[in-house]
């Protein structure tokens, strides 16, 4: 298996590559790459991300041929794709962090600033939080009360709620994990979420959507 982690200057690349490599083992190669051809040839694609939505969207589009390569792999070859944090948010229609910015539009919806109902809850949402999940191959073998690591002030609000696999409660529901066709992503960081995060990575690598 060839795993491509897309390097567009806006991701937690080293820890993501380490986590995917640890889970995949010797049966796979993990390539941190800004080469569209490597993405086209991959069996699994990961889009990490941290920072502001607009900066990440601009950074991804600034890599010559990368969006076209992702389109070809994901939509024509149905290669499983996973986005992490802002990487997942980029699948949305648009984001409203420091202005209005176009996303990739692969899962219809917006990325908006979180508004916790409890004023004692500060932003960013930083640290561990429990999840409520529905059955899905990506959460196979998770514990009954999974906890994962978040670092975000904005959250994805998909129009079609059927794609929401897991939510967290942070003064109201926060979309934590989505999956639509062969596209999936988490608002939390699986590479920082210990056993639950590693199990999610294993489930993604085994996923046959």
Among residues 3, 65, 58, 57, the alpha carbon closest in space to that of 34 is found at: 65
**Annotation marks residue 189 as catalytic:** yes
Q: Catalytic one among 85, 101, 155, 163?
A: 85
**Annotation marks residue 145 as catalytic:** no
Q: Catalytic one among 56, 97, 163, 189?
A: 189
**Annotation marks residue 85 as catalytic:** yes
Q: Catalytic one among 97, 101, 155, 191?
A: 191
Coil/strand/helix, residue 39: helix
Q: Which two tokens stand for residue 87?
A: 């990487």
Q: Which two tokens stand for residue 193?
A: 């979420």
Distance CA 29, CA 54 (A): 31
Angle, alpha carbons 150-80-59 (nearest 5°):
60
β-strands 94-95, 125-133 pairing: unpaired
Q: Which two tokens stand for residue 54?
A: 């607009």
Residue 26, Cβ density class (10 Å: 0-12 exposed, 13-18 middle, ≥19 buried): exposed
Rounded-to-10 torsion of CA 87, 44, 191, 156: 30
> Which residues are known catalytic residues?
85, 189, 191
């Amino acid at each position: 298996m060839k795993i491509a982690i897309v390097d567009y200057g806006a991701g937690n690349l080293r820890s993501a590559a380490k986590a995917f490599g640890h889970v995949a083992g010797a049966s796979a190669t993990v390539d941190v790459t800004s080469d569209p051809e490597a993405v086209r040839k991959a069996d699994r694609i990961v889009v990490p991300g941290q920072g502001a939505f607009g900066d990440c969207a601009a950074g991804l589009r600034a890599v010559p041929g990368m969006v076209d390569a992702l389109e070809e792999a994901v939509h024509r070859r149905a290669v499983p794709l996973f986005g992490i944090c802002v990487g997942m948010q980029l699948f949305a229609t648009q984001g409203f962090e420091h202005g209005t910015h176009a996303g990739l539009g692969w899962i219809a919806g917006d990325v908006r600033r979180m508004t916790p109902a409890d004023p004692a809850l500060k932003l960013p949402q930083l640290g561990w939080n429990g999840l409520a999940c529905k059955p899905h191959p990506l959460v196979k073998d998770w514990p009954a009360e999974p906890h994962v690591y978040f670092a975000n002030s904005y959250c994805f609000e998909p129009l079609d709620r059927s794609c929401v696999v897991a939510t967290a409660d942070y003064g109201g529901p926060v979309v934590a994990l989505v999956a639509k066709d062969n596209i999936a992503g988490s608002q939390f960081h699986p590479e920082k979420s210990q056993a639950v995060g590693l199990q999610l990575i294993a489930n993604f690598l085994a996923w046959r959507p």
